[in-house]
Amino acid sequence: MKYIIFTDLDGTLIDHDTYSYDAARPALELLNEKEIPLIFCTSKTRAELEVYVDELECHHPFISENGGAIFIPKDYFSIELKEGDEIGNYKVIEFGTSYTRIRGILEDIRKKTGFKITGFGDLDGEGVSEDTGLDIHSAKLAKLREYDEAFRLEEDENANAKVIELIHAAGLNHTKGGRYWHIMGDNDKGKAVRALTEIYRQQFKEVTTIALGDSLNDLPMLKAVDIPFLVQKPDGKYDPSIILTEIKHADGIGPVGWNNAIMDLIGKNDDI
């Protein structure tokens, strides 16, 4: 049996405020020791994820921008991958809509409604840094979007409903992360997770999938795996919008809960 772990980053593996994953280091080291694939599945861009791939020496496939695409390192699998295109050092399986089209539709919605909508494409690197708390370099990487636009909507609940209605009328979809709304195409984390899981099954036959998340945009991913975990928000509560019968609640906020979940599930199993 092969474990495959899918994880959100912001608010889950990394702290919501500090962007640190120090609290999760024991579990990260355990996964590395046991050679268990750790798959980043997040709203972050490819450029942002490559930083974590290098820092954590986690040279496995990853899923960017809420399931916009799967990036598989060349020669990672021994089986032939018929689907996808070769882009740089990756085999890429795309699910998302182009960022240019997404930005155009969001701009149309802003003009039509007059609502105060601010996306990453409206800000320079300093603006994204100020809004997110990221350093300037990381903020610039966060702007290198390919399939998804993160935005703030500074209006009331009625405006939220109107914007969602217009997004859907334009043939696009939306989700809500820990900080931002996201406008995207016909993709979500769950579709990408299921597609990548199928590839792992072709390679290893029997696999057990695990996912860890904290917010509503993680729900499709959590539904797509065998063992879903929800970590606590910074206020110590679990996201009430995550309603899933088989969900397991990790004991701890963000990376603390992440570490506890992995150590409890895998650290106590000597057969892995």
Comparing CA positions, the residue from 39, 5, 11, 14 lying closest to residue 176 is 11
Tell me how far apart the alpha carbons of residues 73 and 70 are, in angstroms, rounded to a whole number. 10
8, 10, 188, 214: the active-site residue: 8
Indicate the residue type of 185. Answer: G
CB 99 within 8 A of CB 149: yes
What is the spatial distance between Cα 183 and Cα 162, in angstroms, rounded to a whole number?
14
**C-alpha dihedral sign at 158, 165, 245, 9:** negative
Nearest to 67 by CA among 44, 38, 37, 35: 44
Determine contact, residues 262/30, Cβ cutoff 8 Å. yes
Q: Are 224 and 233 in contact (CB under 8 A)?
A: no
Q: Is 8 a catalytic residue?
A: yes
Active site positions, annotated: 8
